[in-house]
Amino acid sequence: MTGSADSRARLLDLLKAKSFRKGRVVLSSGKESDFYIDCRQTALSAEGHQLVGRLFFETIMENFPDTQAVGGPTLGADPLVSAVSLTSWFEKQPLDAFIVRKEPKGHGTGAWIEGMKNLEPGTKVVILEDVVTTGASTIKAIAKVQEAGLEVLGALVLVDRCEGGKEAVEDSGSRLVALYSRLDFIPPEK
């Protein structure tokens, strides 16, 4: 799978160039960090969108082959689910997309999840995330999706910051696979 290895290396190059930066920042978890990875900067570029779609689709098919749909918490997962759904269509294995809101819709139906009209109860889904730190947003999205009657097969993230999020998600009952980790951006000190 040389193409996949080349694509994986190219996506990492893009993430390092467009999404990674060193410096003090407060994360959505409230924790302080000395680096930040804003994967949207890469995933919203034409090349990055295509690479994310292809690599995530391949990873889903390898790790969660029964997947019928993909979704995740807004805003980080929005370009990811779009890229995977589009790629899946071209691969003739369509996976519909859905988005999990941070709060229920303030009007109309008060929905937590957008895209439910495309999904039946029991649909097998994978939750997508851009970055996992504590795992809190992934765990919340999984809970909302399960409450909606969908079956969560696992979660797939672009970057695991290696700060306990993967373990928290797995302790809550869902397998988590990451394409990259903190070590791909910040090698361990010798």
Checking if the pLDDT of 85 tops 70, the result is yes
127 is a domain residue? yes
Summarize pLDDT for 163-176 with one digit per residue, the tens: 999 999 999 999 99
**Whole-angstrom Cα distance, residue 114 to residue 71?**
9
Over the chain, what is the mean pLDDT? 94
pTM of the predicted structure, to 2 decimals: 0.94
Summarize pLDDT for 12-67 with one digit per residue, the tens: 999 999 999 999 988 877 888 999 999 999 999 999 999 999 999 999 999 999 99
Radius of gyration, CA atoms only, the chain: 16
Name the nearest CA neighbour of 157 among 176, 134, 185. 176
Domains contained in the chain, number: 1
96 is a domain residue? yes
189 is a domain residue? no
CATH number at residue 143: 3.40.50.2020
What six digits make up the tokens of 70? 């993909």
Spatial CB neighbours of 59, under 8 Å, sequence gap ≥ 6: 156, 177, 179
What range defines the domain where residue 37 resides?
2-184
Spatial CB neighbours of 147, under 8 Å, sequence gap ≥ 6: 112
Name the nearest CA neighbour of 87 among 122, 61, 116, 113. 61
Structure confidence at residue 182 (pLDDT) = 95
